[in-house]
A and B are shown apart, each in its own frame.
Chain A
Amino acid sequence: MYEFQYHRPESLDEAAKIFAGADDPKFLAGGMTMIPVMKQRLAMPSDIIDLSRIGELTGLSAGAGMVTIGAMTPHAEVAGSKEVEKAIPALAALAGGIGDPAVRNRGTIGGSIANNDPSADYPAAVLGLNATVHTTARDIAADAFFTDMFETALEDDELITRVSFPAPEKAAYAKFANPASRYATAGVFVAKTATGIRVAVTGAGACVFRVEAMEQALSKDFSPGALDGIAVPADELNADIHASAEYRSHLIGVLARRAVLQTG
């Protein structure tokens, strides 16, 4: 790790002041990505601003058809929340399937979606459920938030404060987990929402994306069979040591059907 200054502010205002006065500052949530990246010297921030003491970023509430989760909420808390389980069971299940218990105790929803790893799970729920990302500057619709691999609509000094998920009529997430890391080799989130069917795919492309052809087919006939013959072309997908693009294309079809089945 390169040397840096460490700060642990207690409010968003204080964090913003530290950020403004620093050379090349970075925010630290649970550190589950940031610390490994710094260890490998892939990042060399001048200042680390630890968000763990900022009360405005914590808290979880569910009610009136909406689940709102503070940016610093760890995955374990979402997975274990009775309120989330009741309002959006697919979201609780997704959070409970991230990594392992130690990762879920430190990793946060804000860090996960700010990082926008192509294999991360939360982006599929954010896009699939048409959630809104609230930041220190504005509200960003899910469709505008995830822009490219490890890229989002966030400005450097903009902090995610919370994410609100409208409760769907029904939803499910099916993932094919990498056996070592549990990251999604591919994952598909299917939701029947007030504004229509949404199908969001993670793990397979540069970042999470929707599959319109599947959404249209499911709008006419919400059944696994409706997806027969619909495939995301392999030439748009990732290939790496874990899976070829063709395999990922196949997985998307299988997982989408499984997700539809799981919604019951």
Chain B
Amino acid sequence: MPTISLTVNGKPVSAEADTRQLLSVFLREQLGLTGTHIGCDTSQCGVCVIHVDGKAVKSCTMLALQADGADVTTIEGLASEGEMHPMQEAFRDHHALQCGFCTPGMVMMSVVLARDNPDLDDDAIRHGLEGNLCRCTGYQNIIHAVRAGAKAMKG
């Protein structure tokens, strides 16, 4: 099996990966980072969204081998020193989750939406989350949370 070396949540990692192994499965099974969920496994639902070299990607649609040398952040890497990331706080404060299955992907996508667009309005949030599906909340509280989280990220 080939070995890949990458940075995950700030730490260098080297591990074996089967050629066919998806990045989502590699993170969960090889590294034990089960915060990245697998939902549809067909590139549509967005629960598997992580950051690769600072960009939001669906980790179920990348081979682990494609991430060799990359800088990866998962939901586990957002909090620092026991403090939740402002976007995570906002999701909790605004009841933006029920079962929580979609939440890691929603939060990871929202963090980059807020980072890349300082004027993130509701329209941009709705469009930005087009690839993230939620079966519980009806989305409204997610929009509220992202709006608040984006504001908090600006400081």
Q: Point out residues on A near B: beta carbons under 8 Å.
A: 1-6, 8, 28, 31-32, 35-36, 39, 48, 50, 52, 76, 99-103, 105-106, 180-182
Contact = CB atoms under 8 A, between A and B. Distances in A.
Contacts of B62: 31, 35, 106
Contact of A31 (B66, B128, B130): B66
A182 to B, nearest CB: 6
Q: Which 8 A/B pairs are nearest by Cβ-Cβ distance?
A: A100-B131, A100-B130, A1-B20, A105-B55, A102-B58, A102-B56, A35-B61, A6-B65
Given A4-B20, A35-B63, A36-B61, A100 B46 contact: yes
A181 B65 CA distance: 26
Interface of B: 2, 19-20, 22, 41-44, 46, 49, 55-58, 61-63, 65-66, 68, 109, 112-113, 128-132
Given A1-B20, A182-B130, 8 more contacts: A35-B61, A76-B55, A100-B132, A101-B112, A101-B113, A101-B130, A103-B58, A106-B61
A39 B38 CA distance: 14
B120 to A, nearest CB: 12
8 contacts: A31-B62, A35-B43, A36-B61, A76-B55, A100-B46, A102-B46, A102-B57, A180-B44
Centre residue among A1, A28, A182 by max chain B CB count within 10 A? A1
B54 to A, nearest CB: 10
Given A6-B63, A6-B65, A32-B61, A181 B44 contact: yes
A112 B62 CA distance: 17
A178 to B, nearest CB: 11
A103 B19 contact: no
A99 B62 CA distance: 17
Nearest to B65: A6
A100 B129 CA distance: 7
A108 B19 CA distance: 22
A50 B66 contact: yes
Contacts of A1: 20
Centre residue among B42, B43, B58 by max chain A CB count within 10 A? B43
Contacts of B65: 6, 8, 50
Contacts of A35: 22, 43, 61-63
A101 B63 contact: no
A205 to B, nearest CB: 25
A39 B41 contact: yes
A106 B57 contact: yes
A36 B55 contact: no
Contacts of A52: 66
A39 B43 CA distance: 11
Contacts of B44: 180-181
Contacts of A28: 66
A101 B61 CA distance: 14
A180 B42 CA distance: 13
Centre residue among B2, B61, B109, B113 by max chain A CB count within 10 A? B61
A101 B57 CA distance: 8
